[in-house]
C-alpha cells in the first residue's frame, strides 16, 4: 500500500493547552511499562490505517482519546472505535458553536482537506471546542474522500478538557507518568526514506521492528505523528540498525496498518535518542460527554499566540443555555509558560458588559500550573446564572511575562486561519483600565482570548425580589427592606461604591430587612439583593434586584 509521509509541518506557532498534572513527582517509575505487544493489544484497540492520505495527525489524536477513555476514565474498552475522518473534517472546516461564540473562526484549506496534512495543535483545538469526536460507525473512514460533513450534530463521544505539552527528552520521567495515567502520548518524528533507519530485531521472545534516525540533518525534521504507549529503559541499543549511544526505547503505535503486529506499520521500538523527534509530547485528557451541558467560548481559531504585558485578562459571556444554569468550571490556555501561579475570579450579574468586574465577585480560585497547555479548573461550588445575565471570567497570572493565548488570523498557503472578534467579549487589563481587545489600537489580526466556561442546566428556582428600597440614612447606617415572590430560605445583600462597580456580599439574612451600619459619613453606596434556596446541597440564587442608591448624611 502506498504511504504518504508528508504530514506534520506546522503552519504557524503551535498553541498549547495547560493543566496541573495529577501525577506527582514522587511516584516511582518502572524501568519498563507496556513493553510487549500482548500487553498493549489486550487493553487497547487494534491499530488503524490512514491509507493514502496524510491524516496521521487525526489518527494520533483519536488514539489519544481512545487510550485516555480506557486508561484514565475507565468508560471504554478495546472495542472503542472513534472517527478519524470526522475529526479531520471538523478541524479543516469552520463551524459556529451553539451560542454563536465561534462564528467567523476556524481553519480553511485551499486544497483538499485530506491532502494537506495537519498537526496535533490543530486537532486538539478542534476537540477542545467539543467537535470532531464521534463514532467510526457514524462517519467511517471508508467515506474519504467523498465525505462533506453533516454528522456534527451527533452527541460527542467525549469532551477534551485538558492538554498537557511536555518536553519529550527534558521531561522524560513526567512523560512516562502521564502515559501511565492517560495511556499514551502523541509525538512527531521524521518518517521518510525508512530504509536507512529501521530493521527487525529479537526482543522478549519476539521479532520486533526498530527505528532510529541517527542523523541531525535539518532535512530530517518531523513529518509524521504517532503514539507512545510504553517503554523499556534497557531496550538494547544493539537492536537498532545504527547503534545509539545508550539503551532505552519507546514502544510506538503507528497508523499504517489495521493489523496490530510487530511491524513498522503498526507497533515498533523507537530509540530514546532519535534525532528527528519533535521536542513536544502531547497528552490529551478527556472526560465523558455528560460532564457539562454547555460550553461558553469564543476561541474557534486553531492558531493562537501569547499575550504579554497585561496584569489580567478576561472574557465576558452571556448565559443563553437554560433559564437557570450552574457555572461549574472554567478553562484557560497558556501557549508557552509553565509553573505559573494564577488567580481566577468570577463576576456574575454584570451591569456593564464593557467591564468584566461590574458585578458580584462570586468566586475566586488560585493555583499553580505545571506543564504548558490548557487546563480546566473546577470551581469549589456551582454559581447560579440567570438566562440573559452576563458573567466575567477574570484571569490574573502572577508570573512576569506569562500570558494567556489569543487567536491569530493569518494566511500561508495552503492554510488560512480566521479569528473574528466582537465588542464586549475579550478584555485586557493594562494601566488600571480594562481595554476591549476588539477596539484596542495596535492589535491587528487578533481574535478572542482562550478562556472558556462550563455550565449545567438546573430546574431549581429561587424567588424574585420585589420592592427593594432604602429608608432614610443616618451618617453611618441605613435600613434596607424588600418583599419577595416564591419560596426563599434567605437573602443575600451586596454593596458597591459605584453603580457599575464590583458588588461584594455584606450579609446573608433570613428576614426581609437589614440595617447596614459602620458606613462613612457623606458617602454614596449602591445596594442589591437576591433570594436563595439550597437544593440538594447546591445554593440556587434568584434574579438580582436593581441597584438602590444611598448617600449617608454628612453631619
In this structure, what C-alpha cell is assigned to residue 160?
Answer: 477534551
Contact 417, 408 (CB under 8 A): yes
CATH 2.60.120 residue spans of the chain: 292-457
Cα four-point dihedral sign 72, 76, 81, 84: negative
Nearest Cα neighbor of 451 from 156, 101, 99 is 101
In this structure, what C-alpha cell is assigned to residue 513?
Answer: 430587612
pTM for the whole structure? 0.92
CATH 3.90.70.10 residue spans of the chain: 32-285
Length of the chain: 555
The 8-class DSSP code of residue 449 comes to E
Cα four-point dihedral sign 166, 170, 171, 172: positive
Contact 161, 331 (CB under 8 A): yes
CATH 2.60.40.10 residue spans of the chain: 464-551
- The pLDDT score that the predictor gives to residue 441 is 67
- The pLDDT score that the predictor gives to residue 152 is 52
User: What architecture is the 32-285 domain classified under in CATH?
Assistant: Alpha-Beta Complex (3.90)
Task: Determine the topology of domain 464-551 in CATH.
Answer: Immunoglobulin-like (2.60.40)
Task: Determine the topology of domain 292-457 in CATH.
Answer: Jelly Rolls (2.60.120)
Residues 6 or more apart whose CB falls under 8 angstroms from that of 135 comprise 81, 82, 83, 154, 157
| Ranges in the chain, pLDDT < 50 | 1-26
Nearest Cα neighbor of 203 from 241, 232, 173 is 232
Amino acid at each position: 500500500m502506498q504511504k504518504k509521509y508528508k504530514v506534520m509541518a506546522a503552519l504557524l506557532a503551535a498553541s498549547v493547552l495547560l493543566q496541573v498534572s495529577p501525577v506527582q513527582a514522587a511516584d516511582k517509575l518502572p524501568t519498563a511499562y507496556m513493553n510487549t505487544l500482548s500487553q498493549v493489544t489486550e487493553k487497547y484497540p487494534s491499530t488503524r490505517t490512514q491509507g493514502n492520505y496524510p491524516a496521521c495527525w487525526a489518527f494520533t489524536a483519536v488514539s489519544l482519546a481512545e487510550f485516555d477513555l480506557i486508561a484514565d476514565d475507565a468508560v471504554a474498552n478495546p472495542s472503542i472505535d472513534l472517527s478519524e475522518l470526522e475529526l479531520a473534517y471538523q478541524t479543516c472546516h469552520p463551524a459556529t458553536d451553539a451560542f454563536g461564540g465561534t462564528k467567523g473562526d476556524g481553519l480553511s484549506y485551499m486544497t483538499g482537506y485530506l491532502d494537506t496534512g495537519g498537526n496535533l495543535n490543530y486537532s486538539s483545538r478542534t476537540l477542545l471546542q467539543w467537535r470532531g469526536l464521534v463514532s467510526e460507525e457514524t462517519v467511517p473512514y471508508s467515506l474519504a474522500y467523498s465525505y462533506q460533513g453533516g454528522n456534527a450534530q451527533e452527541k460527542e463521544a467525549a469532551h477534551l478538557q485538558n492538554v498537557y505539552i511536555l518536553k519529550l527528552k527534558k521531561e522524560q520521567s513526567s512523560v512516562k507518568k502521564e502515559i501511565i495515567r492517560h495511556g499514551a502520548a502523541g509525538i512527531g518524528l521524521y518518517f521518510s526514506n525508512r530504509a536507512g533507519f529501521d530493521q527487525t530485531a529479537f526482543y522478549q521472545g519476539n521479532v520486533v521492528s526498530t527505528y532510529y534516525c541517527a542523523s541531525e540533518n535539518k532535512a530530517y525534521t518531523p513529518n509524521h505523528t504517532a503514539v507512545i504507549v510504553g517503554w523499556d529503559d534497557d531496550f538494547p541499543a544493539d537492536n537498532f540498525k545504527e547503534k545509539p549511544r545508550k539503551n532505552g526505547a519507546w514502544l510506538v503505535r503507528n497508523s499504517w496498518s489495521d493489523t496490530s503486529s510487530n511491524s513498522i506499520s503498526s507497533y515498533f521500538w523507537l530509540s530514546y535518542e532519535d534525532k528527528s523527534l519533535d521536542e513536544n509530547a502531547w497528552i490529551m485528557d478527556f472526560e465523558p460527554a455528560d460532564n457539562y451541558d454547555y460550553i461558553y467560548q469564543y476561541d474557534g481559531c486553531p492558531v493562537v499566540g501569547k499575550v504579554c504585558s497585561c496584569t489580567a485578562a478576561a472574557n465576558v459571556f452571556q448565559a443563553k443555555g437554560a433559564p437557570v444554569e450552574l457555572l461549574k468550571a472554567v478553562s484557560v490556555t497558556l501557549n508557552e509558560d509553565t509553573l505559573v501561579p494564577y488567580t481566577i475570579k468570577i463576576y456574575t450579574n454584570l451591569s456593564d458588559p464593557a467591564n468584566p468586574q461590574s458585578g458580584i465577585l462570586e468566586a475566586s480560585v488560585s493555583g499553580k500550573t505545571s506543564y504548558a497547555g490548557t487546563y480546566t479548573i473546577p470551581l469549589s461550588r456551582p454559581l447560579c446564572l440567570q438566562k440573559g445575565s452576563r458573567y466575567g471570567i477574570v484571569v490574573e497570572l502572577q508570573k512576569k511575562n506569562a500570558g494567556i493565548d489569543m487567536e491569530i488570523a493569518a494566511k500561508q498557503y495552503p492554510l488560512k486561519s480566521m479569528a473574528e472578534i466582537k465588542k464586549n467579549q475579550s478584555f485586557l487589563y493594562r494601566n488600571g483600565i480594562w481595554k476591549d481587545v476588539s477596539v484596542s489600537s495596535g492589535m491587528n489580526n487578533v481574535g478572542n482570548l482562550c478562556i472558556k466556561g462550563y455550565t449545567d442546566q438546573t430546574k431549581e428556582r429561587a424567588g424574585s425580589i420585589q420592592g427593594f428600597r432604602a429608608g432614610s440614612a443616618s451618617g453611618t447606617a441605613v435600613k434596607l427592606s424588600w418583599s419577595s415572590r416564591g419560596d426563599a430560605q434567605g437573602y443575600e445583600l451586596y454593596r458597591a461604591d459605584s453603580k457599575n462597580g464590583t458588588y461584594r456580599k455584606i450579609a446573608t439574612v433570613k428576614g426581609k430587612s437589614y440595617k447596614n451600619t459602620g458606613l462613612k459619613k457623606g458617602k454614596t453606596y449602591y445596594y442589591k439583593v437576591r433570594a436563595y434556596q439550597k437544593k440538594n446541597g447546591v445554593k440556587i440564587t434568584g434574579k438580582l434586584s436593581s441597584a438602590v442608591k444611598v448617600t449617608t448624611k454628612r453631619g
